[in-house]
Chain A
Amino acid sequence: MDKKSNFFLRRIHSLLAIIPIGIFLLFHLSLNTTVFFGGRETYEAVINFMKNMPLVLVLELVIIFLPITVHALYGLWIVYVAKNNALNYKYGNNWAFYLQRITALITIVFLVFHVYLQRFSVHEAEAVIDSLTSILHNPAFFILYAIGLLAAVYHFANGLFTFLITWGVTIGDHSQKICRYISLGLFVVLGVWGVGILTVIAGF
């Protein structure tokens, strides 16, 4: 491979999306699921537990911040390079491809706000939940927040489908089609799950 080639970068970009970012997303959603059981107190306890984890800063940096930043920055370049044509070629997969790029941009904006509001501007568990509820009590902000979350979840679910092709796991039509359905199903499940969490928090 020539030094000029972006082959390696593209593959790293793809890998980071699942390991660790995708896994972190699932972990994040799972932790938040505690809001369904035990309400605000449990949630507070969970946030405290997370914040007191040993080496939490290193973990945040290595597992979350760096991979997402690298994926997002190189992803912006990929978005820029594509010449989208979903209106000319109205195939399902082409729409998915276009949506993958749109949700990428929405997710970046969402994450910037999400991280700023819930991570950098507040620190105590109680304050974190307060900052969340103050947003989610406003219907307009609730919708914006839900859109951000759905975008992130779509980007992950559809990304899983393309990840399997990029790594040569699904090669034939049948396996690709099955994974297309699984990815759609995953989007619906994660979407309902995530918005459910938001709804519960909005009720605090």
Chain B
Amino acid sequence: MANDDKFINIKVKRQDGPDAAPYWEEFNVPYKPNMNVVSVLMEVRKNPVNVQGKAVNPVVWECNCLEEVCGACTMLINGVPRQSCAALIDKIYEQTGFGKQIVLAPLTKFPVVRDLTINRERMFANLIRVKAWVPVDGSWAIARGPRFADREQRWAYIISRCMTCGCCQEACPNVSNKSKFIGPSHIAQVRLFNTHPIGEMHKEERLDALMYEGGIQECGNAQNCRKVCPKEIPLTNHIAFMNKETNKYAFRRWRYR
């Protein structure tokens, strides 16, 4: 094989458990065309020997859909948060040069479970907090509800592609362990469900949640979130719109008090 002598060199930030100290470990994986970061990690799992030739525990990471829709495989790849299933080695080399070391690290804004696996529970809890759903459950059958108007459906669909991957949260300077900011993705989700013809009936509850501690007010308009979102959700537009909505709502609520 022509590629026999070529290697993909990766450097992984590892951590044996939630409270263990992190350390770096390098691996070489034989190069094949069309690999992605997930398949490189699978090779490491088959043969978990580091560059020093020492057999080690295989690297732990998460993945599921393998087509950039579940968000489970999100990690820092050369410092940028993205899905490792969608990170093609050849594409990375096009930018950095063939054979250049690829650095993998867990997201920094979430607790590490082990190696590259992180715990994104905070994001799910915050989705519950902002009531990111349409409440239609009942004990009897109901007829078909109203539908999105076409002009709204067009942009609302794009928000619905959010996979709670955490890239936007990772890049946002205002999401940190010093703040309780729910993050950009959730602000967009509120807009989605507040626009839904049935979801709209509960829109005040979501606005309340959005103005609670760690709510929309924590955004400082750095606009990184929008740049890193793999689903190309124009988060900054949705944040600005929800700024307007929450301001109006705050004023109205105060007048009626």
Contacts and interface: CB of A to CB of B under 8 A. Distances in A.
Interface of A: 1-2, 4-11, 78, 80-85, 88-89, 91, 93-94, 97-98, 100, 161-162, 165-173, 176
Contacts of A80: 178
Interface stretch (B67-75, B182-190, B205-213): B205-213
Contact of A89 (B171, B242, B244): B171
Most chain B CB inside 10 Å of its own CB: which residue of A2, A10, A84, A168 = A168
A126 B41 CA distance: 74
B236 A89 contact: no
A34 to B, nearest CB: 36
Contact of B217 (A11, A82, A172): A11
A94 B224 contact: yes
A168 B245 CA distance: 8
Contact of A166 (B178, B234, B237, B243): B243
Contacts of A173: 234, 236-237
B59 to A, nearest CB: 23
Contacts of B220: 78, 82, 97, 100, 162
Nearest to B223: A93
Given A97-B220, A165-B221, A171-B241, A4 B227 contact: no
Given A10-B218, A97-B220, A176-B237, 6 more contacts: A11-B250, A82-B176, A84-B173, A93-B222, A162-B220, A166-B243
A84 B224 CA distance: 11
A109 B228 CA distance: 35
A171 B173 contact: no
Given A5-B211, A6-B213, A7-B211, A171 B227 contact: no
Interface in B52-79: 79
Nearest to A80: B178
A168 B187 CA distance: 14
A170 B240 contact: yes
Interface residues of B, number: 39
B173 A7 contact: no
Given A80-B178, A89-B224, A167 B171 contact: no
30 contacts: A4-B213, A5-B212, A7-B215, A7-B216, A7-B246, A7-B250, A9-B217, A78-B220, A81-B178, A81-B218, A83-B174, A83-B175, A88-B80, A89-B228, A97-B173, A97-B220, A97-B223, A100-B220, A165-B236, A165-B240, A166-B221, A167-B244, A168-B241, A168-B245, A169-B244, A171-B237, A171-B240, A171-B244, A176-B237, A176-B240
B213 A94 contact: no
Contacts of A6: 213, 217
Contact of B173 (A2, A83, A161): A83
B247 interface: yes
B250 A8 contact: yes
B144 interface: no
Nearest to B238: A171
B217 A89 contact: no
B227 A91 contact: yes
Nearest to B217: A10
B44 interface: no
A10 B240 CA distance: 15
A78 B248 CA distance: 23
Given A1-B211, A171-B237, A93 B253 contact: no
A91 B223 contact: yes
